[in-house]
């Protein structure tokens, strides 16, 4: 990944909701080479970075995307990450159902 591409991705990961779409258009599609970094950043200490990384994984064009999202949904302690990861998977409802306490926390947060 180029330095410019890396900087765009970092800006996208830290983006406020109002800037996310604009930065995503500037970045372009999420590609397979970015999946490992996004998987790592979906475990970041910053909630915004975790959530944005999970959204980006959900729209990634990568063959390993579903496997990464399943591991993330299984291992996360962040209810929003669980919902975002599950929403992007064809079997997401079943995966979310295996985490009832976290799912309840997500519902309570709304």
pLDDT of residue 41: 98
Question: Domain residues for 16?
Answer: 3-109
pLDDT, tens digit, 9 for 90 and up, residues 66-110: 999 999 999 999 999 999 999 999 999 999 999 999 999 988 886
* pLDDT digits 0-9 by tens, 44-75: 999 999 999 999 999 999 999 999 999 999 99
Q: At what angle do helices 47-58 and 65-75 cross, to 10 degrees?
A: 150
Question: Cα–Cα distance between 93 and 33 in angstroms, integer?
Answer: 28
Instruction: Give the whole-angstrom CA distance, residue 72 versus residue 40.
Output: 10
Number of compact structural domains in the chain: 1
The predicted pLDDT at position 1 comes to 54
């Amino acid at each position: 990944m180029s330095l410019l591409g890396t900087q765009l991705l970092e800006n996208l990961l830290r983006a406020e909701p109002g800037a996310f779409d604009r930065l995503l258009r500037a970045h372009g599609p999420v590609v397979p080479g970015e999946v490992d970094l996004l998987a790592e950043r979906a475990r970041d200490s910053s909630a915004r970075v975790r959530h944005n990384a999970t959204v980006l994984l959900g729209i990634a064009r990568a063959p390993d995307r579903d496997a990464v999202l399943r591991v993330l949904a299984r291992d996360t302690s962040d209810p929003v990450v669980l919902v975002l990861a599950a929403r992007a998977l064809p079997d997401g409802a079943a995966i979310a159902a295996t985490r009832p306490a976290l799912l309840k926390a997500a519902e309570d947060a709304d």
